[in-house]
Amino acid sequence: MVTPFGWLASRIALERRSLRAASLTAMVAAILIIVGGGVVRVTGSGLGCPDWPACTDGSLAPTAQMGIHATIEFANRLLTTVLCAAVGWVIIAARLQREPVPGITRWAWVQFWLVVLNAVIGGVTVWVKLNPFMVAGHFLAATLLLTAAAITWDKTQNLTAKQQPESTPQLKTLGTSMLAINAVMVILGTAVTGSGPHAGDSADVPRMGFDWLGITVVHAVAAVLALVMALVIWRTSNQQQVPNVSSKATMYVLVFAGQGAIGIVQALTHLPELLVVCHLVGSALVWIGAVRLMLATHAPQRTVAARAHS
């Protein structure tokens, strides 16, 4: 049985650059979804549209009488349309490659299903009136989508690489540990946000029961551990002469340093809205860096002894 994609693939073939452009666009769209949610939160627009999927019982879009909060919330919902188009482009571009790329195609479809998951969780979040644990779940689902987008984009970069990346068993272990610490840091970040002042709506929205200062300190400790682990990977990759891992570790550390500076300043200045949004952008970039560094450490393994004799 010939599928629509199979029929198209027999008539249309796309170049690698179209796939790289599509995967990059999808990753940027995934970042925008996270940032858009942050804008909704800091402006108190989370219940600007009090229902889902329609904005109100009688209207899909907000009315003029509903004010700016409804407009901000609805604009954030429209970002999902942009994201759907971007992910759809990745699926089509992957399926219509001259040379099949089944691994990338699978990750493109993972993005599609994660978009569906995000939409559903977003709707439930509205229905439960911004329960902070559901809001945290919505952010983590968006982070899963960003993970799939980052993996897809990273894989497209290796398709045309002149020299395929490689790693070592020690770096693989370090890379796995580094990503796990970053995941803990992200989860703790949702607890910091859920306990902080930006509830997502100007109404009396419940907060998580954590002490904000205490959970912030724990989050900061996890961040320090993540940075230390990245520095260990950087040093080890240089010692073992694994340039692909070393370059990604360097990029991660630089982005992390900027993100850390923003985090410290926002904590000391009582969480101004603009810095909170900047911190969300930074968190997305740090997570992308962590995922790509992990992938680099999980490249085909080659022992240090074999490297020495190459």
- Domains defined along the chain, listed by start: 1-160 (no CATH), 162-310 (1.20.120)
Between 142 and 206, the higher pLDDT residue: 142
- 11: confidence class by pLDDT, cuts 50, 70, 90: low
Asked whether residue 2 carries a pLDDT value surpassing 60, the answer given is no
Which H or E element spans position 99? none
Asked whether residue 7 carries a pLDDT value surpassing 50, the answer given is yes
Give the C-alpha separation, 277 to 122, whole Å: 19
Asked whether residue 142 carries a pLDDT value surpassing 70, the answer given is yes
Catalogue the long-range contacts made by 153-157 (C-beta closer than 8 Å, 24 or more residues apart). Answer: 153/20, 153/23, 153/24, 153/26, 153/27, 154/291, 154/292, 154/295, 155/23, 155/101, 155/103, 155/104, 155/107, 156/16, 156/19, 156/20, 156/23, 156/104, 157/20
Cis before 53 (ω within 30): yes
Q: How many CB atoms lie within 10 A of CB 24?
A: 17
Per-residue pLDDT of 273-310, as tens digits, reads 889 899 999 999 999 999 999 999 998 876 544 544 44
pLDDT number for residue 305: 46
Mean pLDDT for the stretch of residues 112-137: 92
Backbone dihedral angles phi then psi of residue 205, each to the nearest 5 degrees: -90, 135
Asked whether residue 9 carries a pLDDT value surpassing 70, the answer given is no
pLDDT number for residue 1: 59
Per-residue pLDDT of 78-116, as tens digits, reads 999 999 999 999 999 998 888 889 999 999 999 999 999
Asked whether residue 198 carries a pLDDT value surpassing 80, the answer given is no
Asked whether residue 151 carries a pLDDT value surpassing 50, the answer given is yes
Asked whether residue 44 carries a pLDDT value surpassing 90, the answer given is no
- 8: confidence class by pLDDT, cuts 50, 70, 90: low
pLDDT number for residue 16: 85
Summary mean pLDDT of the chain? 87
pLDDT number for residue 310: 44
pLDDT number for residue 63: 80
| Identity of the amino acid at 268 | L
pLDDT number for residue 6: 60
Asked whether residue 22 carries a pLDDT value surpassing 90, the answer given is yes
Angle of helix 102-127 relative to helix 16-42, nearest 10 degrees, comes to 20
**Cβ(62)–Cβ(188) below 8 Å:** no
pLDDT number for residue 288: 97
Global pTM value: 0.90
Per-residue pLDDT of 200-255, as tens digits, reads 666 567 788 888 889 999 999 999 999 999 999 999 999 999 999 999 999 999 99
Give the C-alpha separation, 32 to 206, whole Å: 26
